[in-house]
Structure 1
Amino acid sequence: MDAQLIAFTGVSAGLVAMPGADFTVVVRNALVSRRAGIACALGIGAGMLVHVTLAVLGVAAVLAAVPALFRALQVVGGVYVLYLGVQTLRRRRGEVADTGEDSTGRPLRQGFVTNALNPKASLTFLSVVPQFVPAGAPALPRTLLLALIVLAIALVWFQAVALLVDRLGRWLRRPRAARAVTTVTGVALTAFGVGLLAGPLMAV
């Protein structure tokens, strides 16, 4: 692995691990069950794959060039994250894992939608990746390699978060602890949703 790839891996790991809506929604689902947490983490990976594809195809540049489109996506993403936050705060005592398709289907969708509806992810990827493409090197193969690195880091990190929360689940699911964690998670998701909405609404 060359020096640029090592540096890119470090930068990407820092960006992926930064607490945000993705992290919070994984914790929220992992408190339900290990399966739900892992499914949510996989959904986030699928959402990130969308951003990677858009950046490789240059669509992210269009988002940057058309502020109205970017703001519209921010609003949609903000509303969804805000909805998750409000739903979390409405929960009373600890959660009970769903059965059937929803035990993985719903968390998978939540992870995917939370990540895919955040246009900042595409712009972040688009702004970081070009710095690690050597001058004169074929852009597409290098970009795809960098994209795979980001995707791998995201899958490993969010799976690790889900497994850690599940490992601590016996303590976290105690009534008092569950209420506290659910409240913190709900407040965090609500704050992230409001933050996503504040930018585009203030710009109007």
Structure 2
Amino acid sequence: MLMDAQLIAFTGVAAGMVAMPGADLTVVVRNALASRRAGVACALGITGGLLLHTALAVAGVAAVLTAVPGLFRALQLLGGAYVLYLGVRTLRSLGRPRQAVPDEAPSDARPLRQGFVTNALNPKAPITFLSLLPQFVPAGSPAMPRTLLLALIVVVLALVWFPAVALLVDRLGRWLRRPSAARAVEAVTGTALTVLGLVLLLEPLRG
């Protein structure tokens, strides 16, 4: 009974973490505006990044990031630079003439890569998982099977949430893809990504 209560509590905490607004959500929205396939591909890329982070946490590799501050800062700078690049590129596209957006994207490789890289380059994620997962492992129970189950819950939540966001944006696509609405959304997402990128870049520099 205690184990079931812990699983329910962890699922609630993990759902909040996955759904929290940030670079992941912004990149999904940005790609979903291009097409349903692009949005879902980006969402799957983010889920792949989370899968990588949970695997690192289970393996304990995240502890290395905590023990080696230089490596942690380097990853922060790299991740911040990538998010900033996406934001600046989005803002620069506002000045270009808009073209009709096809119903289906010709290739899913770019949004899939963007989603994966955006999530994978966040060094805080494995440390968050490393500190969170042990709190929900009952005393005296085998740690590895339980931790793997918790990690699986996180991945499943992401696999449900981010594609759902992409499909919702696509559902509203007829309105969101109007030139004025599309530019407004691109301006918001581009600004959000740029600010997030700057925050990620400045944080390790202040340390």
* TM-score, normalising length: structure 1: 0.95
Deviations 1:150-198 (A, max 9, x none): 0000110001100000000100010110110000000000011011111
Structure 2 residue aligned with 1:50: 52
CA distance in 2, matches of 1:62, 1:83: 27
Q: Is the 1:94–1:174 Cα contact (8 Å) retained in structure 2? A: no
Q: Offset of 1:46 from its aligned partner?
A: 0.5
Structure 1 residue aligned with 2:134: 130
Q: Offset of 1:65 from its aligned partner?
A: 1.2
Among 3, 12, 17, the alignment partner of 2:5 is: 3
CA distance in 2, matches of 1:146, 1:123: 15
Structure 2 residue aligned with 1:62: 64
- Gaps in structure 1 of 5+ consecutive residues: none
Evaluate the alpha carbon distance shift between residue 94 and residue 167 of structure 1 in structure 2; reply closer, same or farther with a 3 A threshold: farther
CA distance in 1, matches of 2:98, 2:146: 46
Q: Is the 1:17–1:157 Cα contact (8 Å) retained in structure 2? A: yes
Deviations 1:75-129 (A, max 9, x none): 00000000000000011355635853xx200000000000000011111111111
Partner of 1:135, secondary structure, is coil
Structure 2 residue aligned with 1:36: 38
Evaluate the alpha carbon distance shift between residue 172 and residue 186 of structure 1 in structure 2; reply closer, same or farther with a 3 A threshold: same
Among 18, 23, 26, the alignment partner of 2:25 is: 23
CA distance in 1, matches of 2:171, 2:24: 19
Structure 2 residue aligned with 1:90: 92
Say yes or no: does 1:160 pair with 2:164. Answer: yes
Q: Specify the code of the residue in structure 1 equivalent to 2:199.
A: G
CA distance in 2, matches of 1:193, 1:44: 17
CA distance in 1, matches of 2:44, 2:91: 24
Identity over aligned residues, as a percent? 75
* TM-score, normalising length: structure 2: 0.94
Structure 2 residue aligned with 1:191: 195
Q: Specify the code of the residue in structure 1 equivalent to 2:6.
A: Q
Structure 1 residue aligned with 2:179: 175
Say yes or no: does 1:117 pair with 2:94. Answer: no
Q: Specify the code of the residue in structure 1 equivalent to 2:20.
A: M
CA distance in 1, matches of 2:200, 2:130: 19
Partner of 1:31, secondary structure, is helix
CA distance in 2, matches of 1:110, 1:69: 22
CA distance in 1, matches of 2:92, 2:201: 21
CA distance in 2, matches of 1:88, 1:201: 25
Q: Is the 1:50–1:116 Cα contact (8 Å) retained in structure 2? A: yes
Aligned-residue CA RMSD in angstroms?
1.3
> After TM superposition, which residue ranges in structure 1, 4 or more long, deviate above 3 angstroms?
93-100
Q: Specify the code of the residue in structure 2 equivalent to 1:132.
A: F
Q: Is the 1:84–1:190 Cα contact (8 Å) retained in structure 2? A: yes
Q: What is the count of residue pairs matched by the alignment?
A: 201
CA distance in 1, matches of 2:159, 2:192: 22
Q: Is the 1:31–1:172 Cα contact (8 Å) retained in structure 2? A: yes
Partner of 1:90, secondary structure, is helix
